[in-house]
Amino acid sequence: MKITAVGEAFPEHYHSQAEITARLEELWSHDPSVAKRIASLHENVLVKGRHLTMPLESYGELRTFGETNDAWIQGAVELGERAVTQALETAGLAPEDVDAIFFSTVTGVASPSIDARLANRLRFRPDLKRIPMFGLGCVAGAAAVSRAADFVRGDPNGVALVLTIELCSLTLQLGDRSVANLISTGLFGDGATAAVVVGDAVAAPAGSPEIVATRSVFYPDTEEVMGWTISETGFRIVLSPQVPAIAREFLPGDVDAFLGDHGLTKDDIGTWVCHPGGPKVLEALQDGLGLDRSAVELSWDALERCGNLSSASVLMILRETLARRPAEGSHGVMLAMGPGFCSELLLLQW
Residues 167 and 292 in one domain: no
pLDDT-above-90 percentage for the chain: 82
Distance CA 318, CA 310 (A): 14
Residue 188 lies in a domain: yes
222 and 91 belong to one structural domain: no
- Of all residues in the chain, what percent carry a pLDDT higher than 70? 100
Residues 149 and 50 in one domain: yes
Q: Taking a C-beta distance cutoff of 8 angstroms, is the pair 286, 274 a contact? A: no
pLDDT of res. 158: 97
Q: Specify if 84 maps to a domain.
A: yes
Q: Is the pLDDT of residue 297 over 90?
A: yes
* Average pLDDT in the chain: 94
Nearest to 303 by CA among 45, 51, 52: 45
Residue by residue, DSSP assigns 136-166 as -GGGHHHHHHHHHHHHHHH-TT-EEEEEEEE
Residue range 196-251, pLDDT digits in tens: 999 999 999 988 999 999 999 999 888 887 788 888 888 888 888 788 888 888 89
Which of 171, 198, 225 lies at the terminal end of a domain, its last residue?
Answer: 198
Residue 38 sits in the same domain as residue 74: yes
Task: Quick: pLDDT tens for 157-201.
Answer: 999 999 999 999 999 999 888 898 999 999 999 999 999 999 999
Q: How far apart are CA 229 and CA 14, in angstroms?
A: 28
- Same domain, residue pair 190 and 330: no
pLDDT number for residue 222: 84
Can you tell me whether residue 177 is helix, strand or coil?
coil
Same domain, 56 and 184: yes
Whether the pLDDT of residue 33 is over 90: the answer is: no
Residue 209: partners with Cβ closer than 8 Å, 6 or more residues away: 2, 3, 322, 326, 332, 348, 349, 350
Q: How many domains does the chain have?
A: 2
For residue 344, give its domain range: 210-349
Question: Are 146 and 217 within one domain?
Answer: no
Among 165, 198, 231, where does a domain finish? 198
pLDDT tens-digit map of 261-289: 999 999 999 999 999 999 999 999 999 99
> What is the Cα–Cα distance from 286 to 82, expressed in whole angstroms?
33
Last residue in a domain, options 146, 174, 198: 198
Alpha-carbon distance 202 to 1, whole Å?
9
217 with 273: CB under 8 angstroms? Answer: no
One domain, residues 229 and 298: yes
Residue 322 sits in a domain whose CATH number is: 3.40.47.10
Asked if 29 and 345 count as a contact pair (C-beta separation under 8 A), the reply is no
Q: What angle do CA 2, 194, 341 make, to 5 degrees?
A: 90
User: In degrees rounded to 5, what are phi and psi of residue 207?
Assistant: 90, 5
* Domain match, 292 and 172 both: no
104/16 same-domain check: yes
Given 138, 168, 306, 342, the catalytic residue: 138
Whole-angstrom Cα distance, residue 261 to residue 317? 26
Q: Are residues 38 and 17 in the same domain?
A: yes
306 catalytic per annotation: no
